[in-house]
């Protein structure tokens, strides 16, 4: 799943790591007004693009702590948006992809700490997503809700 079109993706390919990081943060922050208003269709391009940029940073070998953090944050945020849009399979796939990416990067020689593994574990702890996004992006997350079905 990609949100940035091939033309723009090739333009971002020549951007510096700092420029990409700035785009990622900027798009997540720009989405906040629409998110607060629960305008999911308007939020999706911003958050999806931030997620794509985080993936681009990782693909470049951006195994520093900030790149890994952006992967975790954008995946949590995008998964939450997909959930509110009723796209549960996409919500789960975003988290699984990011989890696999972070675990794989933990296993590379370039990572000397357990930070990537810590981020991967946080991805799978859905109730903590609200706290993480609030502490990292200073935004309130609309918590995911699930329908309960009685067995009898």
What pLDDT shows up at residue 127? 76
Q: Residue 62 has what pLDDT? A: 57
Domains along the chain with CATH numbers: 6-137 (1.25.40)
Q: How many CA atoms lie within 13 A of 113 on its CB side?
A: 8
Of 92, 73, 66, 88, nearest in space to 32 by CA: 73
Is the distance from CB of 74 to CB of 23 less than 8 angstroms?
Answer: no
Structural contact between residues 142 and 136, judged by C-beta atoms closer than 8 angstroms: no
**What's the pLDDT score for residue 143?**
67
Burial of 121-140, coded b for 16+ CB within 10 Å and e otherwise, reads: ebbeebeebbebbeebbeee
Q: Is the pLDDT of residue 78 over 90?
A: yes
User: 96 is written with which tokens?
Assistant: 């699984």
Q: Is the pLDDT of residue 135 over 80?
A: no
Q: Is this structure's pTM higher than 0.85?
A: no
Residue 112 has pLDDT above 60, yes or no: no
């Amino acid at each position: 799943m990609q949100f940035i079109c091939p033309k723009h993706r090739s333009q971002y390919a020549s951007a510096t790591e700092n420029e990409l990081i700035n785009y990622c943060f900027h798009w997540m922050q720009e989405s906040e007004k629409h998110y607060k208003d629960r305008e999911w269709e308007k939020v999706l391009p911003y958050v999806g693009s931030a997620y794509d940029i985080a993936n681009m940073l990782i693909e470049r070998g951006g195994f520093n702590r900030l790149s890994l953090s952006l992967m975790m944050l954008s995946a949590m945020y995008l998964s939450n948006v997909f959930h509110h849009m009723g796209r549960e399979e996409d919500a789960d796939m975003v988290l699984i992809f990011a989890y696999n990416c972070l675990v794989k990067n933990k296993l590379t020689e370039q990572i000397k700490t357990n930070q990537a593994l810590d981020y991967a574990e946080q991805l799978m702890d859905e109730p903590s997503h609200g706290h993480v996004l609030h502490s990292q992006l200073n935004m309130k997350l609309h918590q995911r809700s699930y329908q309960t079905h009685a067995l009898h």
